[in-house]
Amino acid sequence: MEKDQTTSQKYSKLLMTSRELFWKYGFSRVSIQEICKEAGISKMTFYRFFPNKLELAKAVFDRVVDEGLVKFRSIMHANISSADKIKQIVLLKREGVHEISQEFLKDFYANPELGLKTYIEEKTKTAWHEMLTDFRQAQQDGWIRADMKPELLFYMSQKVGDMLNDKRLSSLYNSPQDLVMELTNFFVYGISPHE
Amino acid sequence: MEKDQTTSQKYSKLLMTSRELFWKYGFSRVSIQEICKEAGISKMTFYRFFPNKLELAKAVFDRVVDEGLVKFRSIMHANISSADKIKQIVLLKREGVHEISQEFLKDFYANPELGLKTYIEEKTKTAWHEMLTDFRQAQQDGWIRADMKPELLFYMSQKVGDMLNDKRLSSLYNSPQDLVMELTNFFVYGISPHE
DNA sequence: GTATTAAAATACGAATATAGTAACATTTTA
DNA sequence: TAAAATGTTACTATATTCGTATTTTAATAC
């Protein structure tokens, strides 16, 4: 008998498939049957892993956030220059826009009685907290200026991610790479000249 | 009493709204109620314009194709150089990828019993035919080489649209504009030097 | 071979959602 | 004001979906 469900292939397959569908169409528009059919797994097997669709959604959300956190940490603790770290994080945020789909969240803010809204907010909060801890550590390590709120730093790194996806901005540059470099430099050095 | 329904504001509003929803989520995932709610129009009014969801879908599809055709014609008959015409058409095709959403079509190919599949194919066929006529006219007018099948021309203009959206290709150029110019030149002059 | 077990397929009832209609109220427009 | 258009509410019938129970099938252990 399988002891740890989370390592099961079918379990992972279900998570993957439902994430794809949820991301595209949102939570309520996707039925359990559809997920099972798409994943090639019977409904009974589904119910062996998840009691209902809501718990499935939580598991999906958990995995996405955890994966994002792992990526973030591996960058923060990598043996590269501070400028490179910022650059990597900025690039991560750019992809991150697609990490948690708007369609997926829409449903929960429209139907708060589902109870997933608060769950997501809790989970997000703890993830934030963990990232802030890493930022503070970086300040102690000296590669981030100590005289600024880490919350601001975190907020900015999110904003920069958004900027990268802003067409009005990117149209000012010849290539996406140019924009990344410009924003990274701004992020690391501000408007002050360096070197 | 309103004679021509297609000029009604509510009719247009319904078409617009349902197109947006169909495009994003596909046909079956969107309910009539949802469309009405989103459009701010009562269900009764909906049924005054459309007998059911299928006829609505046909109307949506019709309008999209017709609008595309109008744009195509205005370019073909515009008083600009042949190179500019090709360029405009290529640019039109680039947007055109989003014109008819994959999500929208998926449903009909998955559920052929809906009967919309054949309808769409018919409509597309006639649109093709009309565009081919315009191409032939252009050959007679002399701004397109006469010794080639217009079908090939049409096929190529579609392919070029796809190429513009190919990241592997666009990454070879500094800007999208560069790629458009390159492809347009290739389309108009082939690989032969000109001027 | 047979017994045992996990998973798939099928069927099913109950709850919910949706399509479409009808009767009546309200607003818009001429 | 009168006519036309639209909105509201309620309703029925149908279809979907959920979640469970039952039967089949397939694989594995004995």
Per-residue pLDDT of chain B (195 residues; tens, 9 = 90+): 444 566 678 899 999 999 999 999 999 999 999 999 999 999 999 999 999 999 999 999 999 889 888 998 998 889 988 778 878 887 777 666 567 788 888 888 888 777 888 888 898 889 888 888 988 888 888 877 777 777 777 777 777 777 777 777 777 777 777 777 777 777 777 655 654
Which of A29, A174, A175 lies nearest to residue B25, judging by beta carbons? A29
Instruction: Give the minimum alpha-carbon distance from A17 to chain B in angstroms, rounded to a whole number.
Output: 17
Which residues in chain A are contacts of B29 at CB distance < 8 A?
25, 29
> In whole angstroms, what is the distance from residue A107 CA to residue A132 CA?
28
Whether residue B43 contacts residue A43, with contact meaning beta carbons closer than 8 Å, is answered with no
Q: From 1.10.150, 1.20.1280, 1.10.357, 1.10.3470, which CATH number describes the B53-189 domain?
A: 1.10.357
Which residues in chain B are contacts of A175 at CB distance < 8 A?
174-175
Sequence ranges of the domains in chain B: 53-189
Q: Which nucleotides of chain C have an atom under 7 angstroms from any protein CB?
A: 5-11, 17-23
Per-residue pLDDT reduced to its tens digit, A98-109:
677 888 888 888
Which of chain B's residues 168-187 bind strand C, using a 7 Å CB cutoff? Answer: none
| A35 nearest nt, CA–C1' | D17
Q: Is the CB of B63 under 7 A from strand D?
A: no
CA of A5 to C1' of D17 (A): 26
Tell me the CATH class for A54-189.
mainly alpha
Closest C-alpha to B106, from A103, A106, A99, A34: A34
Per-residue pLDDT reduced to its tens digit, A125-166:
898 888 889 888 888 888 777 777 777 777 777 777 777 777
Q: Is the CB of B48 under 7 A from strand D?
A: yes
CA of A48 to C1' of D21 (A): 14
Q: Is the CB of A45 under 7 A from strand C?
A: yes
By C-alpha distance, the chain B residue nearest A28 is: B29
Instruction: Give the minimum alpha-carbon distance from B92 to chain A in angstroms, rounded to a whole number.
Output: 19
CA of B115 to C1' of D21 (A): 37
CA of B24 to C1' of C27 (A): 33
CB-based contacts of B52-61 (< 8 A; 24+ apart in sequence):
B53/B27, B54/B114, B54/B115, B54/B116, B56/B14, B56/B15, B56/B18, B56/B32, B57/B18, B57/B22, B57/B27, B57/B116, B58/B116, B58/B119, B59/B15, B60/B15, B60/B18, B60/B19, B60/B22, B61/B100, B61/B116, B61/B119, B61/B120, B61/B123
Q: Is the CB of A52 under 7 A from strand D?
A: yes
Per-residue pLDDT reduced to its tens digit, A22-49:
999 999 999 999 999 999 999 999 999 9
Per-residue pLDDT reduced to its tens digit, A70-116:
998 998 889 988 778 877 887 777 666 567 788 888 888 888 777 88
Instruction: Give the minimum alpha-carbon distance from B52 to chain A in angstroms, rounded to a whole number.
Output: 20
Mutate to test the interface with A, among B24, B101, B102, B107 (most CBs of A within 10 A): B24
